[in-house]
Amino acid sequence: MKANHKGKVIEILGGTNLQERLMNMGVYVGKEVTKLSHIGLRGPIVIKSGRSNFALGHGVAAKVILERE
Amino acid sequence: MIKKIYLIGNPNVGKSVVFSRLTGVHVISSNYPGTTVELIKGYLSLRDEKVEVVDLPGTYSLEPTSSAEEVAVSLLKEYPKNEIVVVNILDSTNLERNLLLTLQLIEEGFPTIACLNMCDDAVHRGVHIDIKKLEEILHIPVISTCAVTGVGIKLLIDRIKETVPVLREKLSHEERWKEIGHIIEQVQHLEHRHHRLREVLEDASVRPLTGLLMASGAIYVSFKIVRFIGEFIINKITDPFFYSTYQNLLEKLTIHWQEKSFLFHLLIGDLVNGKIDFKQSLGVLTTAPYIEFGMVLPYVISFYFVLSLLEDIGYLPRLAILLDNLLHRLGLHGYAIIPVLLGFGCNVPGILSTRVLESKRERFIASTIISIGVPCVPLQAMIIGLLGTFGGFYVGGVYLVLFSIILVLGVILNRVLPGYSPEFLLEIPPYRFPPVAILGKKLYFRIKSFLVEAVPIVLIGVLVINILLYFKLFDIITSISAPVIHGLFGLPKEAIVSLVIGFLRKDVAVGMLAPLGLSAKQLFIAATLLAISFPCIATFIILWKELGLKDLIKSALIMLGISLIVGTALNFVVLR
**pLDDT per position as a tens digit, B327-368:** 988 988 888 999 999 999 999 889 988 888 878 899 999 999
Q: Compute how many other C-beta atoms are within 10 angstroms of the C-beta atom of residue B441.
A: 15
Instruction: Name residues 75-94 of chain B within 8 A of A (Cβ).
Output: 93-94
Per-residue pLDDT, A3? 63
What is the Cα–Cα distance from A23 to B238, expressed in whole angstroms?
Answer: 55
Query: Which tens digits make up the pLDDT trace of B530-555?
Result: 999 888 888 988 899 888 999 999 99
> Do the chains contact at A56 and B317, CB–CB below 8 Å?
no
Q: How far apart are the first and last CA of chain A?
A: 11
Q: Which domain holds residue A61?
A: 6-68
Nearest of B567, B562, B537 to residue B368 by alpha carbon: B562
Q: Is the pLDDT of residue B413 over 90?
A: yes
Q: Within B518-548, where are the H helices?
A: 520-532, 537-547
> A-chain residues within 8 Å CB-CB of B94?
50-52
Q: Is the pLDDT of residue B77 over 90?
A: no
> Do the chains contact at B208 and A51, CB–CB below 8 Å?
no
How many CA atoms lie less than 13 Å away from B387 in the CB half-sphere? 25
Contacts of B365 (CB under 8 A, 6+ apart): B330, B331, B332, B410, B413, B414, B417
What is the Cα–Cα distance from B36 to B34, expressed in whole angstroms?
Answer: 5
Nearest of B24, B166, B175, B39 to residue B108 by alpha carbon: B166
Nearest of B441, B376, B551 to residue B148 by alpha carbon: B441
What is the Cα–Cα distance from B130 to B144, expressed in whole angstroms?
Answer: 10
Q: How confident is the model at residue B383 (pLDDT cuts 50, 70, 90)?
A: very high
What is the Cα–Cα distance from B264 to B271, expressed in whole angstroms?
Answer: 10
> Do the chains contact at B207 and A55, CB–CB below 8 Å?
no
Instruction: Name residues 19-58 of chain A within 8 A of B (Cβ).
Output: 20-26, 28, 31, 36-44, 46, 50-58
Q: Is the pLDDT of residue B194 over 70?
A: no
Tell me if A1 is assigned to some domain.
no
Per-residue pLDDT, B195? 66
Any idea what the Cα angle at residue B444 is, between residues B443 and B445, rounded to 5°? 90
Q: Is the pLDDT of residue B183 over 80?
A: yes
Query: Which position has the higher pLDDT, A18 or B103?
Result: B103
Distance from CA of B429 to the nearest CA of A (A): 7
Nearest of B515, B465, B518 to residue B491 by alpha carbon: B518
Nearest of B113, B92, B118 to residue B187 by alpha carbon: B92
Nearest of A56, A32, A57, A61 to residue B181 by alpha carbon: A32
Per-residue pLDDT, B152? 87
Distance from CA of B10 to the nearest CA of A (A): 9
Tell me if A47 is assigned to some domain.
yes
Polymer length in residues for chain A: 69
What is the Cα–Cα distance from B64 to A17, expressed in whole angstroms?
Answer: 10
What is the Cα–Cα distance from B235 to B241, expressed in whole angstroms?
Answer: 10
Per-residue pLDDT, B104? 92
Per-residue pLDDT, B115? 93
**Sheet containing A6-12: which strands, arranged edge to edge?**
A64-68, A6-12, A32-38, A45-49, A52-56, B425-428
> Do the chains contact at A39 and B202, CB–CB below 8 Å?
no
Q: So what's the ipTM on this one?
A: 0.90
The answer to whether the CB of B383 falls within 8 A of the CB of B344 is: no
Contact of A13 with chain B, judged by CB distance below 8 Å, is answered with: no
Q: Compute how many other C-beta atoms are within 10 angstroms of the C-beta atom of residue A14.
A: 15
The total domain count for chain A is 1
Q: Is the pLDDT of residue B143 over 70?
A: yes
The answer to whether the CB of B52 falls within 8 A of the CB of B82 is: no
Q: Compute how many other C-beta atoms are within 10 angstroms of the C-beta atom of residue B194.
A: 5
Answer positive or negative: Cα dihedral of B144, B150, B155, B156: positive
Query: Which tens digits make up the pLDDT trace of B316-330?
Result: 999 999 998 889 889
> Do the chains contact at B324 and A46, CB–CB below 8 Å?
no
Per-residue pLDDT, B296? 92
Q: By mean pLDDT, which of A65-69, B245-249, B275-279, B428-432 is the weakest?
A: A65-69
**Candidates A17, A36, A39; nearest CB to B324:** A39
Strands B84-91 and B49-55 turn out to be: unpaired
| Angular region, B24: left φ>0, alpha ψ -120 to 50, beta rest | left
Q: What is the mean pLDDT of chain B?
A: 88
The answer to whether the CB of B456 falls within 8 A of the CB of B505 is: no
Q: How confident is the model at residue B270 (pLDDT cuts 50, 70, 90)?
A: confident
Q: Is the pLDDT of residue B460 over 80?
A: yes
Q: How confident is the model at residue B66 (pLDDT cuts 50, 70, 90)?
A: confident
Please name every residue paired with B8 in a beta bridge, in sequence order, or none if there are none. Answer: B88
The answer to whether the CB of B99 falls within 8 A of the CB of B60 is: no
Domains and CATH numbers, chain B: 4-190 (3.40.50.300), 209-255+273-574 (no CATH)
Q: How far apart are the first and last CA of chain B?
A: 75
Contacts of B7 (CB under 8 A, 6+ apart): B15, B18, B19, B22, B53, B54, B55, B56, B87, B89
In a mutagenesis test of the A interface, which of B62, B65, B67, B213 is the best target, namely the one with the most A β-carbons within 10 Å? Answer: B65
DSSP B282: B
Q: Counting one residue from A and one from B, how many pairs have CB atoms under 8 Å apart?
A: 106
Contacts of B337 (CB under 8 A, 6+ apart): B316, B319, B320, B323, B327
**Candidates A3, A38, A44; nearest CB to B334:** A44
Above pLDDT 90, what percent of chain B? 34
Q: What is the mean pLDDT of chain A?
A: 84
Q: What is the CATH number of the domain that holds A19?
A: 2.30.30.90
Question: What does the CA dihedral B258, B260, B266, B269 come to, rounded to 10 degrees?
Answer: 100
CA B492 to chain centre: 36
**Sheet containing B142-144: which strands, arranged edge to edge?**
B40-46, B49-55, B4-9, B84-91, B112-117, B142-144
Q: Which amino acid is residue B232, in one-letter code?
A: F
Per-residue pLDDT, B222? 94
> Do the chains contact at B320 and A17, CB–CB below 8 Å?
no
Q: How confident is the model at residue B290 (pLDDT cuts 50, 70, 90)?
A: very high
> A-chain residues within 8 Å CB-CB of B317?
55
Question: What does the CA dihedral B241, B245, B246, B248 come to, rounded to 10 degrees?
Answer: 150
The answer to whether the CB of B326 falls within 8 A of the CB of B335 is: no
Query: Which tens digits make up the pLDDT trace of A1-48?
Result: 666 788 888 888 877 888 888 888 888 888 888 888 888 777 888 988
> B-chain residues within 8 Å CB-CB of A41?
325
Q: Mean pLDDT, to the nearest integer, of B499-516?
A: 88
Nearest of B371, B312, B329, B399 to residue B551 by alpha carbon: B371
Per-residue pLDDT, A1? 63
Distance from CA of B70 to the nearest CA of A (A): 13
Strands B84-91 and A45-49 turn out to be: unpaired
Tell me if A11 is assigned to some domain.
yes
Q: Is the pLDDT of residue B576 over 60?
A: no
